[in-house]
Structure 1
Amino acid sequence: RTHAHIWEGENAAYVNALRMGAFGPHLGMALTKGSVKSYEIWERGRKKANSQTRGIIALNPINLVLKPGESYSLQWNLFVHNGNEDFRRQLLERGSVIASCPKYIYEKGETIKMEVHSTRPLKKYSAQMNGVPVAVTPNKDSYIVKVPAGQAGKVRIDFFYDDGKQTHADLLIIDNEKELIRKRVDFIRTHQQMTDPKDPRFGAYMVYDNEGDSIYPNNTPNCNPVDRDEGAERVGMGVLLAKQYRLTKDKLLKTSLLNYAHFLREKLQTKDYVTYSSVDQTNRNRGYNYIWVADFYFQMYQATGNKLYAVHGYQTLQSMFRQFGYGFYAIGIPVQLGLQSLKKADMTKEYKKLLSDFVKTGDVFIKNGLNYPAHEVNYEQSIVAPAIQFLAQLYLVTKDNKYLDEVKRQMPVVEAFNGFQPSYHLNEVGIRHWDGHWFGKREMFGDTFPHYWSSITGAVYYYYALCTGDKSYMERAQNVVRNNLCLFFEDGRASCAYMYPYKINGIKAQFYDPYANDQDWALVYYLLVNHGI
């Protein structure tokens, strides 16, 4: 019942186990002798509690061969702590060091900075970036490395200290964030939209198999076909392209989006806006579908001014409330966007009705408080974060302090999912450990760092900063969505999950899954945090 934040930082390795619910005391483990290079996950699978447990976590020491008469020791301290700051303090008291960076993904030409904190003077310190020596500047209680960000790619900064000890930070350099998004959007438009007019999915944005270099038509045996279909989470591609069109007014994007909008309304929805995940209208009438399709329609209204899209967005949400009531913790309910769109479209009656629906939903979320209902997984970051995201938006609309009070009460619960390890895979990335199986080609259970839904916590931090004026949360929001950029590549391709552990059930991991599936929601939230749309 803890969120185990693991840092396989060699001699400075640790585990920070925060209780689910964020109520202390918590448990910490600090390595005091020896080195940990990675970790594995054991006992995961359909017969091992499915998505509900993370499995057994096994820390791996460094590779070594002991000659006759030689020995090697691993030592660690287990200790109680009261939260992240207390955990950091106790780590340093036990003689460890803590590496950190202001951010973990850089554009070419920026200056990379890593700081190593210690409460004692370190001996014989030095650093290397990808094996090349770099300068270290001692500072009060810390040691600083600054180096220009060169060519795009992974960067590892190793810090050496105390006669043979070391730790490191993992960073990523990209060419340009804006260009990365443009390339991804162009790839979706040119490679992932169904263009065969004879196919009933014509106009849909589809899963892409990077190994096969083609759209995956969902026509081979797999663990869960509904997670590879032409609707549901794939709607994120449409929302992304609609947002990009709002920013660029690219005519090619508009043509693609009009085809997609027609596909959604005519193929995935009935006349009364029942919303399915597939064109046969038999699979998965999920509450999530309505939120994402409504989000797309409202984005299209903002992009085009066509009132019909505001009507579609409103009617889609009304259909959801009729079928699922007011207690569904849907991801990404478009509170502000929906109400702003109806107001702009002079739909006063519909505005009042939707606001009333949102207030009823907010009342349920407040009544439930920290007693979150189980969804497709019993307890996960994407149950807690959507509740706070919704309530924060409702406060911004109504200015009723009861919503902000509840947001403040629940914030520590969502923050507990996130760690502060010095890696773009882990820093401010919520713990998730099942998505690679359900949505990926390899169908592998295990830690997915990052998984794109971690970006909803970025939205939570963004709205919290707007509610309170606390700029530190805006910075954290930017780190969340920026670290998720590693799921997108310079040629416009993408991956739905990075399998982070060294091995899972004895099988080598540490890879990006070949399917581009549902990860584009990460860019949807990147644009929210960085452009406010």
Structure 2
Amino acid sequence: MNSTTADTRDTLSETTSENILRFGQGSAVLDARTGAPQGFSCDVDQRREYLIDPEIPWHSPDFYWGTGAVVTSVGARTWNTPTRRVGGENSERLEFDLHQAGLTLSVTRTGGEHLTERYAWRNTGDTDLDITQLSIEAPFNNYYPSAEKALAECVHAHVFAGGNWAWAYAEPMDGSAPSLGLIVTRGAIHSYSLQTQNESVFSNVRGHIVLNVTDHAIAPDSFGGQPVIHLAAGEQYVLETELGWYDSRPAFEARTNAPAHFSSYASKVGGSIDLTTTLDARPDQGLTMERTASGYRLTSEQAGTYYVHLSGHGYEAKTEVLFHESLPTTVAKRVHYILEHQVASARPGTLAASLVSVDTRTGLQVIDPFWNDWTDGSERICMAVLLQKAVNHGWTNAEDAEATQRECDGWRDFVEEHLLDETGASRRGSTQPTESFGKRLYDMPWVAQFYCEHFRATKDEHDLDMLVRILHRLSELGGKHFLSIEFAETSACAASLLREHGRADEARTILDSVVSSAQYFLSLGRNIPPHEVAYEQSVVAPLLSLLIEAYRQTGEATYLNGIRERLPWLLSFSGFQPDCRLNGIAIRHWDGHWFGIMRSFGDTFPHYWSALTTEVLLRLPKEVRTEETDLMASQILRENMANYAPDGTATCAFVFPSSVDGRAMNRADPLANDQDEHLNIWMRMIEEEGASVD
């Protein structure tokens, strides 16, 4: 976003003698030419980079902190290099000429206990104008170069754009302190966007985070509605923020002075959410509010997400809550929909029992053998597991029970003919080349999950034989040195079934593989090897699951200590924003591209793999598990219910930002694809860890 011209470069004057602003226990390092912060540094953790490193190729001064863009009824303009820069005592003032948009911009930054920033856009014309786009770059270093580097140098950026109630929190990826917190103290942030989130950098870069005073020009209906800002001639719009260092989330939350508190952000239809606030509240249609002594009681008879709008004393804020159907009801509806729409019954032979994605707009099935995440294997395995678990729990509609079991029996034939070879190795889809068997280790524990469930239903010893074959083959292919999702949980389930049926030696071999894998990854410390991406939540969760199962099997303190050390790595992925799509939900920003029909990068909230965090939290040893971890686990399970509609349809990806690379988002992808593993995880946690059905 470079607005520099030959004319403006000549007008710069009175630059600061030192391009550093001190605040608290750290400083802002200013770009010598533009005055924009190009880095924030903390004295106690000088290796940590809270902003994207200026030397990274896909980062440039166009995206430095505080640069931005505006669209008005007069025109449009970006800003980067000021026409005037004045330095003061631990402060700076920048002036920008935005006459193409009918504005000037004055930016002041002042150090101290906090770094305060003031942006003032003034209408310089003789007539009124409307601002429909006003965006400021906030390039937090939410980057995953490698596990070791990410844990040591990078941050997770948790953003809450609730209007006047808005903040961002850049937390070290290893869960250490301090974190860098931004709080809006005047004006509003009504949404956020992502830029440069494109395929050239794939899944290891979240992109440049952009804070939007309004994103009306691109996504007017996002985040509960984006305002148009009206400025009379000579009038100005002011946004003020403060940046500071915080040793904990509670310390930061206390500083935000939240105007409202929710008893939860998601509840079952028929239940309620208590809202404590002194402000007036206005609900979206379909949400009912009843006045209470401390605020409001929220209820709804229709499943869905709803915005709650808060106002009073010149203050405007908003956030989302969710009301969902019960787990058994949701499972039954999903099973019915899958049977009706996602069984590929038109295909020949055993392929007719395969399960595939579906475009919920049309009901047409979506199969692409060359796009791995749209094949009839890999993550589509979760549908077969869901069908069998639903039968085993008795959670199908009565008229669907027999058909569901027949489909599960047929799917077993399909998988043995098309997805597994004679050794038990899997491939990603029925049309994938034969040389691809065993190339993607993720899939094998998921197929083994299905055999666990199918055995519970049929007591067919063939299922146990297949369990042993698949898990042994996984070890032969390097599974003990690979963090397969659900490997530890599936191995524990398989071992339990084998022991119950007189096959203790095989059970012991499977569990020995889990312990051996845990020993290997414990020895690596922070140097976790890359998997499909360099570093992600669904690498750390399986790592912790391994250590938890190894501790259960051995009782050795080394595994308990490993769990304690690594748990903050996992929890730092999870947001704590007061929003039903964000609270406890792990940052994931690529799933819409790989799994959705819109193929859009951008934060996917909630994504079902966030439920892996629940698995870890509910399986924690008693020495580590707390009321807080149990509460987060429950919240994650309930918030993921946002991905299912009352008619049994579903979405594989809700791309959360208001826009990504200039395209409107904050919407659900129409593809029902891979989201059902969340339901499987919830049911397994009920079976094994006593999780609540509600």
Is TM-score (shorter-chain normalized) higher than 0.5?
Answer: yes
Q: Which residue of 2 aligns with 1:119?
A: none
Q: Which residue of 2 aligns with 1:77?
A: 242
2:431 maps to 1:277:
no
Q: Which residue of 1 aligns with 2:504?
A: 348
Contact 1:239 1:296 survives alignment (8 Å): yes
- In the TM superposition, 1:128-527 aligns within 5 A as 128-130=282-284, 134=289, 143-161=294-312, 163-196=313-346, 198=348, 201-218=351-368, 225-248=371-394, 250-282=401-433, 283=436, 285-333=439-487, 334-464=490-620, 468=624, 470-527=626-683
- Corresponding residue SS for 1:6: strand
Distance in 2 separating the partners of 1:298 and 1:328: 22
What is the CA distance between 1:196 and its match in structure 2?
3.1
Percent of pairs identical after alignment?
28
What is the CA distance between 1:483 and its match in structure 2?
0.7
Q: Give per-residue Cα distances to partners, 1:478-518, cap 9 Å, x unaligned.
A: 11111111111111111110011111111110111111111
Contact 2:305 2:320 survives alignment (8 Å): yes
What is the CA distance between 1:420 and its match in structure 2?
1.3
| More off after superposition, 55-64 vs 70-79 | 55-64
- Corresponding residue SS for 1:254: helix
Q: Which residue of 2 aligns with 1:55?
A: 207
1:194–1:145 distance in 2 versus 1, CA, 3 Å? same
Distance in 2 separating the partners of 1:299 and 1:263: 16
Distance in 1 separating the partners of 2:634 and 2:352: 36
Distance in 2 separating the partners of 1:137 and 1:273: 60
Q: Give per-residue Cα distances to partners, 1:242-275, cap 9 Å, x unaligned.
A: 2112111833221111111111112111111121
* AA matched with 1:255: R
Distance in 1 separating the partners of 2:260 and 2:531: 37
What is the CA distance between 1:200 and its match in structure 2?
5.9
Q: Which residue of 2 aligns with 1:32?
A: 185
- In the TM superposition, 1:4-23 aligns within 5 A as 4-23=157-176
Which residues of structure 1 form unaligned runs of 5+? 117-121
Considering only CA atoms, is the larger Rg found in Structure 1 or Structure 2? Answer: 2
- Corresponding residue SS for 1:8: strand
Structure with more strand by fraction: 2
Report 1 or 2 for greater relative contact order, CA contacts < 8 Å, sequence distance ≥ 6. 1
Contact 1:335 1:393 survives alignment (8 Å): no
1:325–1:216 distance in 2 versus 1, CA, 3 Å? closer
* AA matched with 1:15: A
* AA matched with 2:385: V
What is the CA distance between 1:52 and its match in structure 2?
1.3
* AA matched with 1:421: Q
Give aligned pairs, total.
512
TM-score by length of 2: 0.71
What is the CA distance between 1:147 and its match in structure 2?
3.0
User: Which of the numbers 256, 264, 269 marks the counterpart of 1:103?
Assistant: 264
Q: What RMSD, in angstroms, separates the aligned Cα atoms of the two structures?
A: 2.1
TM-score by length of 1: 0.91
Q: Which residue of 1 aligns with 2:65?
A: none
Q: Which residue of 1 aligns with 2:4?
A: none
What is the CA distance between 1:382 and its match in structure 2?
0.6
Contact 1:99 1:168 survives alignment (8 Å): no
What is the CA distance between 1:190 and its match in structure 2?
2.5
Contact 1:114 1:145 survives alignment (8 Å): yes
Contact 1:203 1:256 survives alignment (8 Å): yes
What is the CA distance between 1:159 and its match in structure 2?
2.3
1:263–1:55 distance in 2 versus 1, CA, 3 Å? same
